[in-house]
Structure 1
Amino acid sequence: MKSIATLTMNPTIDVSYDVAQMRHTHKIRTDNEWYAPGGGGINVARVFTRLGGQARCYYLSGGPTGPALDGLIAEQALDSVRIPIAGPTRIASAVLEHATGKEYRFTPGGPRISETEWRHCLDVLAEADCATMVLSGSLPPGVPDDFYVRVARLMADRGIDVVLDSSGAALKAGVEAGGLLLIKPSLGELRTLVGRAVQSVDDIGEAAVAIVRAGKARLVAVTMGHEGAVLARASGHAFLPALRIEAASAVGAGDSFVAAMVHALSSGKGELEAFRIGMAAGSAAVLRAGTGLAHPADIERMLQMVEPLANG
């Protein structure tokens, strides 16, 4: 098993509550209160270690809320490297309304990062020791759009594979620079990348394969929610339909997908089998409301429901 590292530039303290009913202006009493460390890379590290892998998570932390995030990460027993910043770590909330079964999510933009701070982050990452670096999540204000490109170059100089799971300008810049092991855009993100509204599975697959054949990434996994997912390789694309399960939450599905797929690849499994395992993990993450992410037993159960793929 090869070790990985993850980077979370814009981590969160994830808070989840249950309420009977959402009502504006009223004080609403909550129950089932839960706190967890969050943000793409931290979530990936949590699931990756649950699956038996070794992951070191690099993350930014600061302000009066920073120590709370540090404590939550310590509770998870994650191997971590804290990169200090002046601004306060953001707090994200997920509220499950029992009256409707709907989940409401509130996510701030994050603290502004100074140039001194993000350049120090690059210096820290230049010493990372891993086989794969997972760059996951949004970039906070103040960090340049090409930041992940800069990190990827540092990793490439040392023979470290890079996985990128982001959005917007940060994802576009990373894909344009190329040389990535894996990217995991949503369907909306893929459409933005290719500049057109691809619709059918074949159109989506062909657009993703074009990214691979252009040398931008070895693998492109396009997640499409209730419509399933597509994996593109140089040899073509494969499709997996979504599992017929009742989703209680959308928190952490993509991060769980990435963690499980990277874990499978790091374990020597074939690309298509790793895709199936990622699909199972993404499905497992939505089984329960809140910020629990995918658990191994649920992933194994979901995997029995994922369609087999030839030559995996």
Structure 2
Amino acid sequence: MKSYQIVTLTLNPSLDKSTRFTGLIAEQKIRCDKPRYDAGGGGINVSKAIAKLGGNSLCIHTSGGSAGKMLEELVNKEDIENQVILTQNWTRENFIAFENNSKAQYRFGFPGNELSEDEKETVINIIKRIKTTYLVLSGSLNEGLPSDFYQTIAETAKTSGTKVIVDTSGEALQKVLEEGVFLIKPNIGELAKLIGAERLALPEVEKAAKTLIDNGNAEIVVVSLGAQGAILVSKNQTEFVAAPKVTKKSTVGAGDSMVGGMVWALSQNKPLKEVIQWGVACGTAATMNEGTQLFKKEEAEKLFEGMQ
């Protein structure tokens, strides 16, 4: 099988529909603008982000029904090399609406349909065959999938020396850390849960991340701080990067853009300080665009240059 430096896996992709409207009044018909459609889901967005930076990845994702067909067409338009796992159940859809007067964004996310036993086995067999330096497991798990499914995938991938990068939450994240992975990207609330704390103050983040590293849960912990920026912690290094001040239009895809920027930088052998800077630059640039779009390369580059 062909070797790839970066492979992303999206078990629970979504066909994202976004629009604008004026006035939110219960029980009245809301007139919306013509919708925009984007291929969504953690790993797909990460691959899109990598492509925007001039990198390459193999994007593995599930697809079912007419929504899945449209999703495939949108991924192909991004000129991303992809491998489709066909499913009997339909791909989910998400809906994002922006209200013109209040500038408020409403995000409606739906659960993904179950995967059959054969479809689960197909996923594992593909992971067994791929040859890659970095495998990105990103996004939520489908309804009915066991919470340790990412853990099983990570265990399988690590047998061939692959560095596993995980961006998920809840029990799925807790389980995969039992296996131990290369990099995780929790927010500060998720990090607190991972170490059994109610909450964490900013000065406590480094120590909490070091706890996970010392326990063998991850080699690198990147803690997203939202509008404040992010902190990268490894065994021997800690880097804080403040988020640049920008006019925020949408937060959709910002976290995935951040992961994409970091994985691309890792694949280019950038030092860890630049890895986190590229992550924050791409994540911040994504908030400058409306709806379900990600970032523009020139905006991410400008933000990165401003950090130097």
Q: Could you state the TM-score of these two structures normalised by the residue count of structure 2? A: 0.95
Q: Distance in 2 between matches of 1:21 and 1:14?
A: 22
* Cα drift, residue 278 of structure 1: 0.5
Aligned counterpart for 1:124 among listed residues 126, 147, 158:
126
Report which stretch shifted further, 58-67 or 249-258.
58-67
Residue 270 of structure 1 pairs with residue 271 of structure 2: yes
Q: Distance in 2 between matches of 1:302 and 1:112?
A: 40
Once the two structures are superposed, the pairs formed by residues 135-214 of structure 1 within 5 Å of their partners are: 135-178=137-180, 180-214=181-215
Q: Distance in 1 between matches of 2:25 and 2:289?
A: 24
Match of 2:229 in 1: 228
Match of 1:248 in 2: 249
* Cα drift, residue 162 of structure 1: 0.7
Residue 288 of structure 1 pairs with residue 289 of structure 2: yes
Query: Residue 189 of structure 2 contacts residue 199 of structure 2 at CA under 8 Å; is this kept in 1?
Result: no
* Cα drift, residue 10 of structure 1: 0.4
Q: Distance in 1 between matches of 2:149 and 2:14?
A: 19
Q: Deviations over 1:140-198 (max 9, x none)?
A: 012111111111122111111110000111111111221x1110011121111111134
Match of 1:114 in 2: 116
Amino acid at match of 1:144: P
Match of 2:240 in 1: 239
Unaligned runs of 5+ in 1: none
Query: Residue 85 of structure 1 contacts residue 117 of structure 1 at CA under 8 Å; is this kept in 2?
Result: yes
Q: Deviations over 1:237-262 (max 9, x none)?
A: 32222322221111001100000011
Amino acid at match of 1:66: G
* Cα drift, residue 213 of structure 1: 2.0
Secondary structure of 2:129's partner?
Answer: coil
Q: Could you state the TM-score of these two structures normalised by the residue count of structure 1? A: 0.94
Structure 1 residue runs of 4 or more that deviate by more than 3 Å after TM superposition: none
Report which stretch shifted further, 132-141 or 57-66.
57-66
Query: Residue 49 of structure 2 contacts residue 294 of structure 2 at CA under 8 Å; is this kept in 1?
Result: yes
**Residue identity (%):** 35
* Cα drift, residue 236 of structure 1: 4.3
Q: Distance in 1 between matches of 2:202 and 2:238?
A: 9
Query: Residue 114 of structure 1 contacts residue 142 of structure 1 at CA under 8 Å; is this kept in 2?
Result: no
Q: Deviations over 1:262-292 (max 9, x none)?
A: 1111101001111011011110000011111
Query: Residue 87 of structure 1 contacts residue 111 of structure 1 at CA under 8 Å; is this kept in 2?
Result: yes
Match of 1:12 in 2: 14
Match of 1:40 in 2: 42
Q: Distance in 2 between matches of 1:194 and 1:160?
A: 26
Secondary structure of 1:53's partner?
Answer: coil
Secondary structure of 1:199's partner?
Answer: coil
Aligned counterpart for 2:94 among listed residues 73, 89, 92:
92
Secondary structure of 2:131's partner?
Answer: coil
Query: Residue 201 of structure 1 contacts residue 230 of structure 1 at CA under 8 Å; is this kept in 2?
Result: no
Q: Deviations over 1:35-85 (max 9, x none)?
A: 110000000000101111111111111123221111111221211111011
- TM-align CA RMSD: 1.4
Unaligned runs of 5+ in 2: none
Amino acid at match of 1:245: V
* Cα drift, residue 293 of structure 1: 0.7
Q: Distance in 2 between matches of 1:198 and 1:244?
A: 26
* Cα drift, residue 26 of structure 1: 1.8
